[in-house]
Chain A
């Protein structure tokens, strides 16, 4: 079955395309360009600060899901090209997280560091959001080929941090939501599927060892 999909000519075309990576790179910039465009054209609604902060947070979470979708899509569809953009997608998670955090510090708190510190200490959803940001840092700093080589096996273990990070980010979203939980619930369902797939792989591997 897998072999059939892998030989699908569209899959082959994508896998062999040199333009795939630059194409995805441009796609990844659309959300921020869209916000900048809206900012200059009264396109951010009645409460632009809210629109900016929320939208950046949403996209950070979406990119996290995209990153986690790479392995399942590669294995099921044979889209090996996705491996070439996995690191880039991961870095875009951090890019949108940084912008999300900056938007909060700037347009919500206006650099009132006292209040920001209080928020981080007192408000569980902000504590969790901030912790998520901190946990992303070691992944960003070790994202280079050089660090990959240096850390060897430990690199993979370290980068499995993305699993707890993804759960924390989703809980952060749940905890900031008021009354209507449909959107965070949808994110949670998709995340459960993506993480569940990993558990399935582990299970399969163990079965393989037994036989």
Chain B
């Protein structure tokens, strides 16, 4: 082992701390602290702040389906998630999905379809014009948010792949990779997470494939890089981190339906008239409002009846809940 002892002349002047900085070293450290504080404040970003952030998706088309309701804070949308792939606690995904890298990502198209195959994400979303959709989001647990998604209609994508006449349903599958999704080490749910829609539901203009929110890419805890958004159904239907889309003739099972068929139906449309067996669905708590402020009445189909009610005409929604 040789020890290199530098001569005085070997030390570059740029390596030496500037006298000004040295003199102001306490100030310097204090500023570093402020920087950290600003960083931490980022985790508590308000709407205005989130909007002024550098946006990846620019000039997004506005949608006639967007609500004008007050948006839920970015920090709430990204800090309170049910994403059991990253832990069963609501605050787990924000912490445990940090390491997750959704790049590269590919999506398999399978089943009753003319153009099956495996596509990489960029090619997969390239053909579609992204738009902003501000939707109400109602969790089956009784809370709700207003979220500015970025995405494209699922219908546009389905048309591209040309489902056959046998395709009556669409099944979605989340990534199953214990290494990357630590919550999957625990068998709280039968992995991988799956969800399904009837073909007309999938083709409904409201149904969205989301790739972002608040003008930026989807945060990991919200289902990066691509997820489903079906605003008239309970949150758990909005499957995250999708790796497979399968067109089927028969109704697919969905994860929550499998473990609790009496509590979580295949349709799971937001419906104040049909209680969850363990709690009423008549009201909801709007996240972001003071907790003593009271709840709001839940609307049938989460307020999207005009666009979706016709699909369920003649169906007993108490039976097909």
Specify which of A44, A46, A49, A115 is in contact with B90 (CB 8 Å cutoff). A46
A121 in contact (CB, < 8 A): no
Within 8 A of A (CB), among B221-248: none
**In the complex, are the beta carbons of A49 and B88 less than 8 A apart?**
no
Which residue of the partner chain, among A107, A115, A118, A125, contacts B278 with CB atoms under 8 Å? A125
Could you tell me if A46 and B76 are in contact, using CB atoms closer than 8 angstroms? yes
- A-side binding surface: helix, strand, loop or mixed? helix
Which of chain A's residues have a CB closer than 8 A to the CB of B278?
A: 123, 125, 175-176
Number of interface residues of A (CB under 8 A): 22
Residue positions of A touching B, CB distance < 8 A: 44-50, 52, 106-107, 110, 115, 118-119, 122-123, 125, 175-176, 178-180
Residue of B nearest to A122 (CB): B275
Tell me if B143 and A47 are in contact (CB < 8 A): yes
What are the residues of chain B within 8 A of A179 when measuring CB–CB?
Answer: 84, 88, 188-189, 259
CB distance from A35 to the nearest CB of B (A): 12
**Residues of A contacting B285 with CB < 8 Å?**
47, 49
- Decide: A47 and B287 in contact? CB cutoff 8 A: yes
Q: Considering the chains assembled together, what is the distance between the CA atoms of A180 and B287 in angstroms?
A: 23
Q: Which residues of the other chain, B, contact A175 by a CB distance below 8 angstroms?
A: 278
Chain B: interface size category: 20 to 34
Give chain A residues whose Cβ lies under 8 Å from the Cβ of B275. 122
Partner of B80, one of A47, A110, A176: A47
Number of A-B contacts (CB under 8 A): 49
- CB contacts (< 8 Å) of B80 on chain A: these are 45-47
Binding site for A on B (CB under 8 A): 75-76, 79-80, 84, 88, 90-91, 143, 186, 188-189, 259-260, 275, 277-280, 282, 285, 287, 291-292, 294-295
Which of B259, B260, B277 interacts with A123 by CB under 8 Å? Answer: B277
Interface centre among A46, A110, A118 (most CB of B within 10 A): A46
Closest to B295 in A: A110
Contact status A107-B90, CB under 8 Å: no
Known: A179-B84, A179-B88, A180-B88. A46 touches B79 (CB 8 A): yes
